[in-house]
């Protein structure tokens, strides 16, 4: 019994000395009154050049057409959508104006050839809400607005699918010589909506 009492007293003393020497600190307990705060900074600036830029435009391949003396209507899809980057931060939006001239090329004898069309229609589909496309806009020899980016069209935006249609000989039949033809389409990006 003497042995048991001594063990009990010793265990009690050791346990109480351990308990008195430690206090439990929780994760939300403030340790001192010397907490400090700091700040983080970043400056974002738009580039001084190319803050608003047209980075991708569609090309169109109408394939092979027969040389006939009647009305010709050809249509195709563009190889890509329009892509615009707006880093201005102004929220002013933008427009894309497009224009095409006559097709020209060379015949099998190497001679220059040209054909005039009556209409070159361009149709641009909307994207997810920031680019509004226009349908069947005639861009032949006239700058015409084919899409508009609204005030939320910042960053990199792409239009929906782009399609084109050529109408030739709708009013005055003309002979179209066999050959390979090409026309240049000019795309202009204009700030503001």
Average pLDDT of span 47-56: 83
Q: Band of the pLDDT at 113, cuts 50, 70, 90?
A: confident
Locate tokens 């220059």: which residue?
A: 112
Render pLDDT for 122-159 as a digit per residue (tens, 0 to 9).
Answer: 999 999 889 999 999 999 999 999 999 999 999 999 99
Question: What is the chain's length?
Answer: 193
The chain-wide mean pLDDT, for the chain, equals 82
What distance in Å separates the CA atoms of residue 81 and residue 128, rounded to the nearest whole number?
13
Q: What mean pLDDT is predicted for residues 44-66? A: 83
pTM over 0.75: no
The continuous run of DSSP H or E covering 138 comes out as: strand 137-138
Candidates 2.60.120, 1.10.3300, 2.60.40, 2.30.30; CATH matching 52-62+69-191: 2.60.120
78-101, pLDDT tens digit by residue?
999 999 999 988 889 999 999 999
Whether pLDDT at 69 is above 90: no
pLDDT at position 160 is 97
For the chain, helix (H) and strand (E) counts, in that order, are 1, 14
- What confidence tens digit (pLDDT) does each residue in 20-48 have? 455 555 556 666 677 777 778 776 665 67
Examine the pLDDT at 2 and tell me if it is beyond 60. no
Asked if residues 118 and 168 have their Cβ atoms less than 8 Å apart, the reply is: yes
Tell me, what's the pLDDT at 192? 86
| Extents of the domains making up the chain | 52-62+69-191
Of residues 151 and 178, more confidence is placed in 151
Give me the pLDDT at residue 9, please.
47
Identify the residue whose tokens are 């009690």: 12
């Amino acid at each position: 019994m003497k042995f048991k009492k001594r063990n009990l007293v010793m265990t009690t003393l050791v346990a109480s000395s351990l308990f008195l020497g430690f206090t439990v600190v929780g994760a939300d307990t403030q340790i001192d009154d010397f907490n400090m705060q700091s700040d983080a900074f970043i400056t974002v600036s738009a580039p001084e050049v190319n803050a608003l830029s047209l980075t991708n435009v569609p090309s169109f391949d109408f394939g092979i057409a027969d040389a006939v003396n009647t009305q010709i209507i050809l249509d195709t899809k563009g190889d890509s959508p329009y892509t615009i980057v707006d880093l201005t931060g102004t929220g002013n939006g933008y427009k894309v104006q497009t224009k095409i001239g006559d097709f020209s090329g060379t015949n099998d004898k190497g001679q220059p050839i040209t054909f005039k069309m009556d209409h070159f229609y361009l149709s641009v589909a909307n994207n997810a809400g920031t680019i509004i496309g226009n349908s069947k806009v005639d861009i032949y020899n006239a700058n015409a607005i084919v899409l508009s980016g609204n005030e939320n069209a910042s960053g990199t935006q792409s239009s929906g699918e782009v399609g084109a249609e050529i109408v030739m000989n709708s009013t005055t039949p003309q002979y179209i010589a066999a050959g390979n033809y090409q026309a240049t389409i000019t795309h202009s990006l204009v700030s503001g909506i």
